[in-house]
Structure 1
């Protein structure tokens, strides 16, 4: 076959190429077009993603300029409306909640935290928001809601923090024995790391009452 191929004239080879192209040319063109479209589509998407992150970063940088004040609500809303899928929207909402919680406006703090829980782009931010939300609810004496949140599933690394919040909930309910047990668990889970605040809260509750011995 190879010898026959060599004996073919240029004209014959050209005719065979034309016949092959008539049969397969459409598929080849379509394949090349699709490859080009995918390439340019990917480059466009990458460019769009980069521009989106840069724009969101610029707004978040504006928010960060005044760390001592309240997070401007107009900037937060712009991030939430135009860049909700970026981490900057979640970070800004967490900052917003912190700034209002620090001045005792718990309703606005809850507003920011619930946005992250419902719309946050990453699970890590949602988990942080849920735990902070539980703390704010304790401050509002909404202990049932707070307890419901911390009874949800969390990664193992959050267990000490959850036990600490549980202790705060029981203190707010004046269930002191349960609070002691929760703080003890937090100290146990938090062994080897800084836990002075938990220790202080636990010590303030004193020792558990010793049951009276039967006579």
Structure 2
């Protein structure tokens, strides 16, 4: 670092430095402040978008509850315009549920497969995959249903997955496989109360 003999030299040095670097400093401050305000604007916009999507999602859920699959067009419109949010996936799940209740399994499967491909929530993913497997099993797509269950690795789903494997084995006429699957399901933390009844039926 240079040493200055007088305050005048220091002032002159500062002037010289400012002439050389002043524009860069000002530009840096402007860019920095612009970035800060831009980030805040982005955050505010994102929050507003999330709140709007939440309100719209509540509306479509109410529509499904009141109208069932008759609200399908309204729900699909929400899904198409809200793909950037997880609410679109949740809406697809709700619509698929209504379609299953109406016996529209192909349409429900399409909704669930879209949700599976678009969800970013690790907690939602196994639920979607499980429901896909259930529909495939109902449609007698045994191999497809089993392949879907293979995708679920979350231990919290171990009991439900094993039980559904048992149900699928029953449909395939594989009673021994079903018995093993139900027995395995009984050991899981999420075991259902219906398992013992299923095992008793197999023992008859």
Report the TM-score when normalising by structure 2: 0.88
SS of residue paired to 1:205: helix
Match of 1:75 in 2: 74
Would the aligned equivalents of 1:84 and 1:121 in 2 still touch at CA under 8 Å? Answer: no
Query: 2:40 maps to which residue?
Result: 43
Shift >6 Å, 4+ stretches: none
The 3 A distance-change label for structure 1 pair 95 and 22 is: same
User: Where in structure 2 are the equivalents of 1:65-104 lying within 5 Å?
Assistant: 65-66=62-63, 67=65, 69-70=67-68, 72-104=71-103
> In structure 2, how many angstroms separate the alpha carbons of the residues matched to 1:17 and 1:37?
27
CA–CA separation in structure 1 for the residues paired with 2:151 and 2:120: 19
Question: Hey, what does 2:180 align to over in structure 1?
Answer: 181
Evaluate the alpha carbon distance shift between residue 98 and residue 70 of structure 1 in structure 2; reply closer, same or farther with a 3 A threshold: same
Instruction: Name the structure with the higher helix share.
Output: 2
Partner of 2:149: 150
Q: 1:24 to 1:4 in 2, by over 3 A?
A: closer
**Structure 2, unaligned runs of 5 or more:** none
SS across alignment from 1:161 = helix
Q: Distance in 1 between matches of 2:153 and 2:30?
A: 48
Q: What residue is the counterpart of 2:195 in the other structure? A: 198
CA distance in structure 2 between the partners assigned to 1:129 and 1:39 by the alignment: 39
Is this contact kept in 2: 1:117–1:130, CA < 8 A?
Answer: yes
The alignment status of 1:33 with 2:35, answered yes or no, reads: no
Name stretches of at least 5 consecutive residues in structure 1 with no aligned partner: 208-215
Where does residue 114 of structure 1 map in the other structure? Answer: 113
CA distance in 2, matches of 1:121, 1:77: 19
| Kept after mapping to 2: 8 A contact 1:56/1:83 | yes
2:203 aligns to what SS in structure 1? coil
For residues 71-98 of structure 1, give each alpha carbon's deviation from its aligned partner in whole angstroms, at most 9, with x where no partner exists: 5223332333222131211111111111
Count residues with an aligned counterpart. Answer: 202
Query: Is the 1:85–1:120 contact (alpha carbons within 8 Å) kept by the matching residues of 2?
Result: no
**In structure 2, C-alpha distance between the alignment counterparts of 1:27 and 1:185, rounded to whole Å:** 69
Which structure: larger Rg?
Answer: 1
